[in-house]
Chains A and B, each alone.
Chain A
Amino acid sequence: METFIDVLIILLVLTNFRLLGSSRISACIQTTALQAIILSAFPIALHTDALGFHLILLSGATIVVKAIVLPWLLRKTLREINISREVEPLMGYTASIIIGAALLGLCLLISEPLQSTHILGGRMLIPGALFTILSGLFLIISRRKALTQVIGYLVLENGIYAFGAALAVEEPLVVEMGVLLDVFVAVFVMGITIHHISRDFDHIDTDRLSLLKD
């Protein structure tokens, strides 16, 4: 199982780099859906010995919410606001990838004290989860379009989910379900808000929104 988890973590890290380096928003949405599918395999892979209804429900709910409903919602918003790519991000794509590599190194360093004996999934799960959180944050601060920032928020939440999967021992899975619902509501609201912003102002550039006067 160790190998399977390793493969999952590598895929998680690679999807993060894909998100950091791609300019098409639809590709980013697709990648977050893929990331959600990878994440949904984590609880099952980590708890093979205690595979119960609980875990399968959690994995199923993750796939339905994060890999089907949310990407569908984001794609719908994307069609309505009529843009296809993130033009002029605050940080270029190659630079983003290099910063991503630096972040991965940082995560490996700072995760060292966090490695305790009762963490499941080997030594790379914590750095992988931290890196997902940090790359989500980086997407939020380095992109201009509100939609890409929502994707960053989703990635950030995916990282928290992976982190939780490493620490969770049965009970907190209920908490995870609650978080899943929160994320769903948040992205739902953001999708509608972005739609309204784009209808009223003809763009969704967040740095131009801060210039608004009454």
Chain B
Amino acid sequence: MANFIPAIHVILAVVLSPLLLGVINRTKAIFAGRRGQPLLQPYFDLIKLMNKAAVYSRTTTWVFRAGPVIGLASALACLPIVPLGGVKALSGFEGDLVLFAYLFGLMRFITVLAAMDTGSAFEGMGASREVQLSALAEPALLVGLGAMALKTGSLSLTGIYGKISTHMIAAPDGPVGFLVGMALLIVFLTENARIPVDDPNTHLELTMIHEVMVLDHGGVDFAMIQYGAALKLWILGTLLTGVFIPVRTQSDFLNLAAGLAGMFLLAIVVGVIESTMARLRLIRLPQMLVAAVLLSTLAFVWILR
């Protein structure tokens, strides 16, 4: 009976991930004193884009067309291996955290390649920034997950997250879970191009990072990119809420409910962060990411001592 709950998580992630964006936007609107767009606006945008044909420049090659497809495919491939808090992943196995990290690596790589394929200098600049930041975010993610693997003695995400309890946030295991959680929060904001790193609302501004790479995509391709980004938000969000909301009950329904509540709480938190913080200057970003690597490393050392 408990076997279909992980499948429900995958289905819910596929259906609900654009809603997270809607919640973030609504939170920001309330903070700014506006009524804001409808909660379902991301879905309307996706439907609108799906009905349009993509336009391809003559300078682009097959790489440009493959970009959105492979990006979305790798995000979808991640879904069965991430657990949502106490809910097991659909098909977790030993060592799947490495596969997880590199599926995201593949998604980023193909987006960067597609951006470079257009031959636009502007997109090349965005690609260079994206790669610079993710080169710093990836060690923070891997070392952080490594620290938790060491702590829990398991190499699969399901195993790690199944064993996180309130012990790892406060007493008696020390602040390890908290350190890794903070590092994951910085990675989450960086990878999803949220505010202290990148402003998702800016268009055609010289400081933007992620949006600049997808400027030349249109129609169905752009819908796939947007949907892939929403899935990425969901997947990295599950890692974060799994650490900070350690509800691990016997009942899978309760775990699932707690996990879902955590995801939407996270969306609200992101909205609050975006409303109260300004974007950091580009030269300060590596410093923040180095700090994330440091937090992860500190957690790692703390367990090794």
**Does chain A have a CB within 8 A of B298?**
yes
Report the stretch among A3-11, A25-33, A69-77, A136-144 that lies at the interface. Answer: A3-11
Question: Which chain B residues border A105 with CB–CB below 8 Å?
Answer: 301
- Given A10-B175, A97-B290, A123-B305, 16 more A-B residue pairs with CB atoms under 8 Å apart are A2-B172, A3-B171, A3-B173, A6-B174, A6-B175, A10-B174, A10-B179, A13-B298, A17-B291, A94-B287, A97-B287, A97-B294, A98-B290, A104-B301, A124-B302, A124-B305
**Does chain B have a CB within 8 A of A192?**
no
Taking the closest CB of chain B, its distance from the CB of A106, in whole angstroms, is 12
Interface string of B63-83 (1 = CB under 8 A from A): 000000000000000000000
Of residues 257 through 305 on chain B, the ones whose CB sits less than 8 Å from some CB of chain A are 286-287, 290-291, 294, 297-298, 301-302, 305
- Chain B, interface residues (CB within 8 Å), range: 10 to 19
Alpha-carbon distance A10/B172, docked complex (angstroms)? 14
Question: Which chain A residues border B286 with CB–CB below 8 Å?
Answer: 94
Interface residues of B (CB under 8 A from A): 170-175, 179, 286-287, 290-291, 294, 297-298, 301-302, 305
Of residues 55 through 87 on chain A, the ones whose CB sits less than 8 Å from some CB of chain B are none
Taking the closest CB of chain A, its distance from the CB of B125, in whole angstroms, is 21
Instruction: Report 24 cross-chain contacts, Cβ distance below 8 Å, ordered by A residue.
Output: A3-B171, A3-B173, A3-B174, A6-B175, A10-B174, A10-B175, A10-B179, A10-B302, A13-B298, A14-B298, A17-B291, A21-B287, A21-B291, A94-B286, A94-B287, A97-B287, A97-B290, A97-B291, A98-B290, A100-B294, A101-B294, A104-B301, A108-B305, A123-B305
B298: contacting residue among A10, A94, A98, A123, CB under 8 A: A10
**Does chain B have a CB within 8 A of A163?**
no
Interface string of A92-131 (1 = CB under 8 A from B): 0110011011001100100000000000000110000000
Closest residue on chain B to residue A21 by CB atoms: B287
Question: Which chain B residues border A7 with CB–CB below 8 Å?
Answer: 174-175
Alpha-carbon distance A110/B294, docked complex (angstroms)? 20
Alpha-carbon distance A32/B35, docked complex (angstroms)? 43
